[in-house]
């Protein structure tokens, strides 16, 4: 339970019901959800890693590993690594901005940064 504000009488401020409701909302925000504002941006993470790579190209395995690690570091998910890998594969397949050639992934011509 929160401490009462300094300078206010003990009964003033938030009631116990208000505190527990606000704490529940805060913990819900930290947990995140698939459609919430704090959800992980797969496309942005993939593009950022490819732009940082030499030649804007990475092996698929390295890109997947880095993106899944970034998702786990972002928090808000309790999904298993296998689920995250499957989500990565789905997101990558839908991205028009990247080209998968063999075992490597590179940014498409229209999405490359001029270096």
Cα separation, 102 vs 109, whole angstroms: 17
Three-state DSSP class for residue 14:
coil
Could you tell me the pTM of the whole model?
0.62
- Give the full edge-to-edge strand order of the sheet including 98-101: 57-59, 104-107, 98-101
CATH fold of 42-111 reads Arc Repressor Mutant, subunit A (1.10.10)
Cα separation, 27 vs 85, whole angstroms: 26
Domain segments of the chain as ranges: 1-31, 42-111
Instruction: Convert 5-40 to b/e letters by CB count within 10 Å (16 or more is b).
Output: eeeeeeeeeeeeeeeeeeeeeeeeeeebeeeeeeeb
State pLDDT tens for residues 39-52: 999 999 999 999 99
- When pLDDT is cut at 50, 70 and 90, the band that residue 19 belongs to is very low
Q: Is the pLDDT of residue 64 over 90?
A: yes
Q: Is the pLDDT of residue 1 over 90?
A: no
State pLDDT tens for residues 22-36: 333 333 333 334 444
């Amino acid at each position: 339970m929160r401490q009462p504000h300094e300078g206010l009488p003990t009964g003033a401020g938030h009631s116990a019901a208000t505190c527990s409701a606000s704490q529940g909302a805060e913990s819900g925000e930290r947990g995140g959800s698939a459609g919430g504002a704090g959800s992980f941006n797969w496309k942005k993470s993939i593009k950022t890693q490819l732009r940082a790579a030499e030649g804007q190209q990475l092996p698929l395995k390295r890109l997947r590993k880095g993106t899944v690690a970034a998702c786990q570091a972002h928090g808000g998910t309790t999904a298993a690594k296998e689920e995250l890998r499957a989500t990565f594969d789905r997101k990558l397949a839908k991205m028009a901005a990247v080209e998968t050639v063999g075992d490597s992934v590179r940014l498409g011509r229209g999405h490359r940064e001029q270096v």
